[in-house]
Amino acid sequence: MADNSSMKWYVVHTYSGYENRVKASLDKNVENNALQHMIGEVVIPTEEVLEIRNGKSHVIQRKRMPGYVLVRMNMTNESWYIVRNTRGVTGFVGTGNKPSPLSDEDYNELMASIPVTRLDVQVGDEVRILNGIFESFTGKVVSIDLDTKKVTVVVEMLNRAANVDLDLDEVVRVENTEA
């Protein structure tokens, strides 16, 4: 059996949306043909994204590099042929016909988990407060802090403006129905 430490990471281009099929096909081909000494691992780089819509938090998996998979392998003519001729693969990333391996730094950067938050509210939006002592009040978003997952809303109360700090999932954007 070959030394797995000599394997390098390569970026393989796939048809968009075929990443999971390519990974499954390569994994199955490696297992069925006992090619673990040539192809060690196939990875689809993903990240968790916290999405807040309509006051509800959802964690979703998002592909970091749509249309690409990473393959850890010893580059030989045979391993190149196996990967290149997998259904859904369009080629390797590299210069000319020579695939270029990723550096360890590039691989670690691609696989680093960076939390991402997507919101359906922005500064300046009109929002309705969903709970607490200001439940059902409406106000305008003046700031959003993604690190603490807080939003500051200006609420009119007793003819005065008051800043209220809330969690991101405690507000929902008010849709303007004016046309």
Q: Please say which residue of 117, 132, 155 terminates a domain.
A: 117
Statement to judge: residues 10 and 98 lie in one domain? yes
Task: Indicate the number of domains in the chain.
Answer: 2
CATH code for position 133: 2.30.30.30
Statement to judge: residues 48 and 112 lie in one domain? yes
Hey, how many other C-beta atoms are within 10 angstroms of the C-beta on 5?
6
Q: Are residues 138 and 178 in contact, defined by beta-carbon separation less than 8 angstroms? A: no
Q: Is 43 exposed, middle or buried (0-12, 13-18, 19+ CB in 10 A)?
A: middle
- The CA distance from 137 to 62, in Å, is 34
Domain enclosing residue 47, as ranges:
4-117
Output the pLDDT for position 55.
67
Nearest to 53 by CA among 178, 177, 168: 168
Statement to judge: residues 79 and 146 lie in one domain? no
Q: Are residues 123 and 168 in contact, defined by beta-carbon separation less than 8 angstroms? A: no
**Residue 130 forms part of a structural domain:** yes
Least confident window among 14-18, 42-46, 61-65: 61-65
Statement to judge: residues 130 and 150 lie in one domain? yes
Q: Which residues contact 106 (CB under 8 A, 6 or more apart)?
A: none
Statement to judge: residues 125 and 53 lie in one domain? no
Statement to judge: residues 47 and 19 lie in one domain? yes
Residue 158 scores a pLDDT above 90: no
Least confident window among 30-39, 71-80, 117-126: 117-126
